[in-house]
Structure 1
Amino acid sequence: MSEDADNEDRTEDPTQRKLDQAIEKGDIARSQEIGTFFVLCGFTLALLVGAGWSASSAALSLRSFLMNAHQVPSSGEAFFNVTKQGVMTGFMALGLPFAFILCAGLAGALIQHKPLWTFEPLMPKFSRISLMAGAKRIFGKEAWVNFAKGLAKILLIGTAVGLTLWKEHDRLESFAQMSVAAMLPATLSLTIKLMASVLALFAVIAIGDFVYQRFSWYQRQRMTKQELKEEFKNSEGNPEVKAKLRQIRAQRVRKRMMAAVPKATVIITNPTHFAVALQYEQGMGAPLCLAKGVDALALKIREVAGEHRVPIVENPPLARALYATVDIDEEIPVEHYQAVAEVIGYVLRLKGRRA
């Protein structure tokens, strides 16, 4: 029940990081039927390419040994040499078929996934020796799927082999009357026909199993909402921490702006919303924005400016435009030069009159 409930909670698609971590641990989608299909292909190819040569080589060596068996000394060293020669002959006869089968098996593994080196599957896990976990493996969903798959393979392949042999039943009756030399090619031909029918059927089984294994693997990697949140925190950072950092940065910028307001030449405001503090001195290329704010921050800028007797000029369109186009410690855009120059000129003239 707990496993079913856990699976029901896994409603979210896995992230790419989750899939990569599973692969790094050796948990990949692998179909045994694909490997078996490639091994059968290698065996069939070995029959087509090397069966005649291997049989001829083995028959020649065996004939030579039987014809000269009476000349073989009975000492231990001679017996060792005869045994070694027999092993070498067997290796030469079977080496090519085994090479085809080995290469086909490797190809079946590589076509499903690139080479992966990990010791994670070899690490001891107490869950593997748990009676409950063992019972789930034996009577669980995957066990029933494997049982049904094995039964289907037996029925389908047995049917294919039976139909192929039934078509050749007249030929099978003549095998008893054939010589050994004639029986070997006939047996090879019949075996290749059997393998062709088996491979055609096994290709469908292998493709279906591969699709199922990929689907099953992807379902195993699905995540709960909590796991997805933790994944986001680990990869993108904790949203609460990021919000706190933004708040700290905003506070530092605000303190720096408030400290720069007394140096401003003029404060251009919209009385109810915006405030922009500008500084201009002789030799500067263009006025510089020292501070800007909206609503409560704009009110604070006006208060600090009033405390330090910085001129405040109300110009709502210019205040809104400057707030939207200029950042802190940047010169004002060229399109606002004329309007700002008129304001600063007015302020300077006003200061001159006061002086």
Structure 2
Amino acid sequence: MADTDSYEKTEEPTPKKIKDAREKGQVARSKELATTLVLIASAIALIAIGSIIASAMFTITKRSFTLSRDETYDYTHMFQILQMSVTESAFPLIAFMIIAMVGGIYGSVALGGYNFTWSSAAPKANRLSPKAGFKRMFGTDALVELLKAIGKVSVIIGMAYISLLIFKDEALHLDLEQYPMNLFHALDMIEWAFFLLCCGMIPIALIDVPYQSHKHNKELKMTLQEVKDERKNAEGDPAVKSRVRKLQYQSAANRMMQDIPKADVIITNPTHYSVAVQYDQNGERAPVVVAKGIDELAMHIRKIGTANDVPLVASPALARAIYYSTEVNHEVPQKLFMAVAQILAYVYQLKAHKKGKGAKPKPLKKDMPIPPELRR
């Protein structure tokens, strides 16, 4: 049962899955939304500049068919008519095409956003497969497209009937109006009837957009195993990562052990913590932690320190404070300077005493000057 569940596409697509799909050209698209927006944009453009286009066409038609006797014998007259026609119609027609083009472009990218890729244009074998073709013809998508087609025809017929009811009286009285105002009135009714027909596409688009989004999301859904494999590929195999971390830790520990002989003092807990500190007496840097560790590693640090005559000083509170506040090869925090200075002064005095150059130093105070926020 668990194996069956792992191969069912029940998981939501991951961001990587969605990104890979976009790179292959798989994005949610709604043809109905694109068609609706380009039609509505065209209808609005007709309402806005339809009268300008009609006036231009009226002027062109009137000028083309109103010729003087001399113009009928002038072969250059047709070029003058052509120039006038272009001048009169260029602006309104270009404006109309730009508005329709903007509507078409926005309708194409409104769902799914802009996405350009050559992958979707590449030939695919499944598109030539008769089996896949029959599946597309008689599958769920084909049924949905059929229902949408029936819906579009029904809505358009309904909106056409409503438009006839709205403009019936005005259309029947056009013959009573004067020429050419009746032509412009008829054009105005056609523009608004066209707008109503285009608005009939809105319910179809409103249904198609969430359907296409749901369909696209369903196609991208993943099995539980796919999610696990993707996470493993993105983060790396846990066994490999554990091995890498172990090697990194061993490498860092080896470098750290090599620096212990350079330390001036090893501050201990004395059993659980060890911190090796080095100080440049020229004063160019603050005391630096060259090695630190707990339990077995702490014992190993003390062992190497003893073998190399590095003094061991027991100061449990200070050892814990430095261990938790300072990384290896980093300077000791400024708030611990006073406590570390006392340790180093004690060590230097002890070394001088052993060489017969000074008195034996007094034992260190148990209460070291450690701020409360650094105590562990």
Give the structure-1-normalised TM-score. 0.76
Number of residue pairs aligned between Structure 1 and Structure 2: 341
Q: Is the 8 A contact 1:43 1:97 kept in 2?
A: no
Which residue of structure 2 aligns with residue 109 of structure 1?
105
For 1:253 and 1:22, locate their aligned partners in 2 and report how far apart those are by CA, in whole Å.
42
CA deviations over 1:167-209 (Å, ceiling 9, x no partner): 4445556679999967644542432332232233323433443
Q: Secondary structure at the match of 2:11?
A: coil
What is the CA distance between 1:324 and its match in structure 2?
A: 1.2
Q: Is the 8 A contact 1:12 1:225 kept in 2?
A: no
Which residue of structure 2 aligns with residue 56 of structure 1?
58
Q: Structure 1 residues 27, 106: CA separation in 2 closer, same or farther (over 3 Å shift)?
A: farther
For 2:224 and 2:313, locate their aligned partners in 1 and report how far apart those are by CA, in whole Å.
54
Q: Is the 8 A contact 1:54 1:92 kept in 2?
A: yes
User: Is 2:321 the counterpart of 1:325?
Assistant: no
Q: Which amino acid is 1:140 matched to?
A: G
More helix by share: 1
For 1:305 and 1:325, locate their aligned partners in 2 and report how far apart those are by CA, in whole Å.
22
Q: Secondary structure at the match of 2:266?
A: strand
For 1:226 and 1:49, locate their aligned partners in 2 and report how far apart those are by CA, in whole Å.
63
Q: Which runs of 5+ in 1 are unaligned?
A: 73-77
Q: Secondary structure at the match of 1:313?
A: strand
For 2:103 and 2:350, locate their aligned partners in 1 and report how far apart those are by CA, in whole Å.
88
What is the CA distance between 1:328 and its match in structure 2?
A: 1.8
For 1:159 and 1:243, locate their aligned partners in 2 and report how far apart those are by CA, in whole Å.
68
For 2:130 and 2:188, locate their aligned partners in 1 and report how far apart those are by CA, in whole Å.
50
For 1:281 and 1:164, locate their aligned partners in 2 and report how far apart those are by CA, in whole Å.
94
- What are the residue-to-residue correspondences of 1:25-36 with 2, within 5 Å? 25-36=24-35
User: Is 2:313 the counterpart of 1:313?
Assistant: yes
CA deviations over 1:226-260 (Å, ceiling 9, x no partner): 44445445655555554443332221111112122
Q: Which amino acid is 2:123 matched to?
A: P
Which residue of structure 2 aligns with residue 279 of structure 1?
278
Which residue of structure 2 aligns with residue 269 of structure 1?
268
Which residue of structure 2 aligns with residue 298 of structure 1?
298
What is the CA distance between 1:327 and its match in structure 2?
A: 2.2
For 1:265 and 1:224, locate their aligned partners in 2 and report how far apart those are by CA, in whole Å.
59
**Worse overlay, 179-188 or 246-255:** 179-188
Q: Structure 1 residues 61, 326: CA separation in 2 closer, same or farther (over 3 Å shift)?
A: same
Q: Secondary structure at the match of 1:28?
A: coil
Q: Structure 1 residues 97, 8: CA separation in 2 closer, same or farther (over 3 Å shift)?
A: farther
Q: Secondary structure at the match of 2:313?
A: strand
Q: Secondary structure at the match of 1:133?
A: helix
For 1:152 and 1:7, locate their aligned partners in 2 and report how far apart those are by CA, in whole Å.
37
Q: Secondary structure at the match of 2:201?
A: helix
Q: Secondary structure at the match of 1:124?
A: coil
- What are the residue-to-residue correspondences of 1:12-161 with 2, within 5 Å? 12-15=12-15, 17-44=16-43, 45-46=45-46, 48-53=50-55, 55-57=57-59, 59-60=61-62, 63-64=65-66, 100-101=96-97, 103-110=99-106, 112-113=109-110, 116-161=115-160
Q: Is the 8 A contact 1:58 1:90 kept in 2?
A: no
- What are the residue-to-residue correspondences of 1:171-250 with 2, within 5 Å? 184-185=183-184, 187-232=186-231, 240-250=239-249
Q: Which amino acid is 1:213 matched to?
A: Q
